[in-house]
Each structure stands twice: as C-alpha cells, then as structure tokens.
Structure 1
C-alpha cells in the first residue's frame, strides 16, 4: 500500500471523527430545559428506566441501560417486538420509558405508544424529529438530531447513534451526581470488574515511595532549598524518618522575594499534612480527600515512619472510574 493510499485512509478516518464530533456538539447546542425535566422525572420515579429501540438504536439503548445500572439508576432494556408479545408486562406506572428513534416514526416503537399511555408511565423520547409521531406523543423530547451522517451514502447510522450514545452518557452522569453516587457505590456494583478492583486496591500499590519524593529537614534554612523548591510544588519535611508536614512552593517563593526572610528555617513554614497508612484502600483515600478537600495525603507505616504519598491526580488517573474509559 503506497503512501498516497495511507494518507487518504487517514484523511477519511479523521473526517469521520470530525463529523461525529460535530454531531455531539450540535446536540450540546440544542440541549435545554427539557433535559433537566427528564432528569427530574427519572429522579422522582419509584421504578426503573425502561429503554426501548430497534436496530442500531436498540444497541445504543442497551449501552445506555448498562451505564445507568452501573451508576445508580436501575434500568431495563425492552425490545419493542418482544414488548408486543408479552414483555410489556415488565413496565409499570412507577417506571419511566426512554424511547429511542432517530426518525421518530419507527413502526415498532410508535405502535407501542398507546400501550405506554395506558400504563401511565412518563415517556421520554430521543429523536431528531420532535414533530414526529413519537415526539408529539412523548412527555419530554430530547432532540438528538445531527446535520449529517459520517457514512458517505447517508444511510448507515453513524454520527446519529454517537450523538444518542453521548446524550445517554450525559443523562447517566447527571443522574449520578444528583444521587450523590460515590466511588464506594460504584465498587459495590462492580465487585468482579477491573474498575471495582482498582477502587479496592491498597494505596501502597500506587503510592509514590518516600525515596522518590523531595525532602528537607526542619532545621534547614530557606536559602538552602532554592533549587529544590524551584523544581517541586511541595517539599516533604522529614527528620529521622518522621513526617512533620510539607512546605508549599508558592508560599516559600514569596518569602524568597524578601531577602531578610532567607535566614528563616523550614520549621517556621511547615504546613500540617493528613496521613493514612499503606493498607488504606484507594476508595477510603478518595473519601478522605473529598471530605477535607485535599489533593495529597502522606503515608506512614505502623511505626510512624514516612513511607510515601498519594496524589489525587494519580488516584483519578489510575484508580477511579471515568465514563470516557468505561
């Protein structure tokens, strides 16, 4: 394969991604109070979110169900054809129905609308056509329409399904936040999953070891730590293996500007630091950071010796859940 063909393949791939990104941004521009109303409706419901759709919309619907279930909102997928043959019995008045149809005229969906109405469950629609049959008969309509599909024929659902998937993720994330869903809740729902395992890791597995961290003694003069403080955001104040606290680079640099402060000792600028032990779980460390609004914790062993530190950015990167990763 020649370089021209490779460049064409890459050019076309980037165009597809650009079209799909534009589709999501288009939905962002259309998002309004109806989305907030959908969130409130689901939060008030005593039952589950029943998601329905056929074809590619059905596949996206199943993904939305999986995301909702894993983030604290009970959900079920209802296949429209199976619904017409008895599975409609799983829907109750306490549930909320989320119907996905790009055109809003999908026959398998529209034929169920009278049954949904009789059941009395609120109906939310994801569609590009609010004036469609589904749109007109829904209680809440979220416009997920895109200007164009990435498919050159304009036939295969591509940008449109991506936009619906992203809107479903947005719904799940907002519901998660409204329910105050915690990493511990997530871990309980994923006891066998890799993400759940990471939340139950001990911090010793991902901590920065003490020998890797910049340290100074409490009786060191400020003028003698200029190189270290210039290269690091914080310095760890340690003597005989004991952690006394930290020195904040910003505070110290301000003092450097005043020459008469250079003779001060490190001990005069120590800030206290919260500590945990190496056996603390990642989940517990996150809880402590969130509760006390911290971005770093010191780690000391059972003898009180400084053995390392864990930073919030590392926990978020290595051990917590992210919808971009799921």
Structure 2
C-alpha cells in the first residue's frame, strides 16, 4: 500500500487518520482472507510539508500506532518512515526499511542520514538544583478528576501549598478511527491551548505513557494519542517553551489505567514496573527538575525488552531503574540478517499539568 496524503504540501491532521483507517482496514481484510502472513506496509510522511505545528504533532501518533499493530500481529507488519523531502534520492528509502531483517518501527531520514528512536538513561539529578514546582504556585491540572489527577493534586497541595484549578473529562470506552482522531486532538490541542495562555518560561507538564514508545496489543488508541502528545511537547520546545515536558508512566499502583489489583503482572513481563503512588509523586519532582522534553518513568532497565532499546551516553546513568529520556540516534542502513539473542480557564501565569 502506498498512501501519499501525509507527504503532500499542506497536509493536515485528518490525513494521518485517513492513513490509519486505510491501513487498519487493509490489515483486517488481508487477515480475514487468510493472506495476512508476510504482509509488510511502510507508512511514509513528510513532516516538513504539514499544514501547521498541530498537524506535525499528530503524525507522532504513528509511533504508538505502529508499535501497537505490530504487537497485536506478533510480527513487524508496519514500519513508519518520515522523510525530509519527496525527491528521487529518497524514493528507495522506505523500501529499504520494508526488506530489513530487523526493522525499526519508526525511522526518519534527514539529508540522507537515518535516525531511529532509542532510550537513554536519564542523567543523575544535579545536586542543589531548585525544585521547578513553586511553593504557593498556581497550577491547572487537566484530567484532575481521575485517579492520577487526584493524587497529583493532593501532592501539589500538601507538599507545595499549591492553589489548584482541576479540569476533568471522561473519554468514551470504544476505539475507532474517528475516536482516535478526537482523543488525540484533545491531547494535542489541549497542550497548545494551555501553552497559548502561558509565558514561554512557564512550567507545562503532560502525563503520557510508556506505551507511547513501546506500543501494546490492545492499546492502540492509548499508545497513539500519547505518542502524539510527546510530539506536541517536542514542538512546543522548538517554539521556545523551554519547560514544556512530557512524563510517560508505566503504571501507578491501584489507580490510573492500572485501576484495581491484578493488572500489573502482564506489564511487568514487558519491563514496566508498577509504581507505588508516593514514589510516583516524588518522581514528578525529580523528572521535572531534569527538564527533558520526554522522560519515561517506571521502566526496568534490566529487562531485555527495555534494555535492547537503551543507548548509553557519557555522563548519563540509570537512576533507581526508573528514568529514561527518549532520544534519536543515528544509524546506518537497516540491519541485515544477524544472529540475535532474546534479550476554570488558565490564568496567563499559571503553569499546567495534564494528567490525562
């Protein structure tokens, strides 16, 4: 399948979800006809030709979508390739990804250089760095009526004497293409709306998920919308919002999406740790002081499914097994066959937390 909508000049966010819908239907039709084995599809975009920053953020949804579809299929059905231009020299690049023995789920080519996403252990918290959350500060907590939002609000009020505005909504439970678009737009536009009311040095924190990076069978919408949120934060950083960040969580014990008991074992088998609520709340403090655009919290660095994604940097080291920052790393051509081992409305000066 070749769908060029997200490569044409001025494409908007709707093109992303038309691509998702067409791809999902194709995979379903092939599977129903018994012809799903060996299917490989490259999703190609040119982010630089998007209509606006919001559209560019929406293509971030493809990271989580691709990972989740592949998890459900148990095979690398999809690869996502973002190019810097539609030129003759780039035509063969998506094909190289399709025939790779061990393809990366999402890659980008810039001036012929191939990059793919990887994780780096977050740097140790520098001694003496002041907390970014201010005593007596005013904070808006969107998603503040959910389990994690309530815990975060309690933490901000009790530890910092914060004055809070809580905003909540409850998404519908069923997944479809249009709902994925609406839910992702809620996150992307919500971050943009908050940013539009804030000074560029204000603290703006979105709560995302480790599934934004890893995907997950049965978590397509959740993964895709949160990877778009991460992309929106990256876009805000490029616009000068130097304290905009996204914290991607594994699970909070007994609350949030993990809800009640019994949900932690499958996640832990993937290297996602279930965090005690008090530990998770203290992690907010630590991660906010580090001020990385995207930080994932609650990953077991000793687990092979996590460790295989980690690229160490000089001076950076793993902290208490919990913190990772997402980075792009340069790569050569896709790998060939190798022997592998299993390893109330915001005040203009009120910072925002999005705990959706």
**Length-normalised TM-score, structure 2:** 0.24
Greater per-residue helix proportion: 1
- Which protein shows a greater Rg? 1
**Length-normalised TM-score, structure 1:** 0.26
The structure showing larger relative contact order (alpha-carbon pairs under 8 Å, at least 6 residues apart) is 2
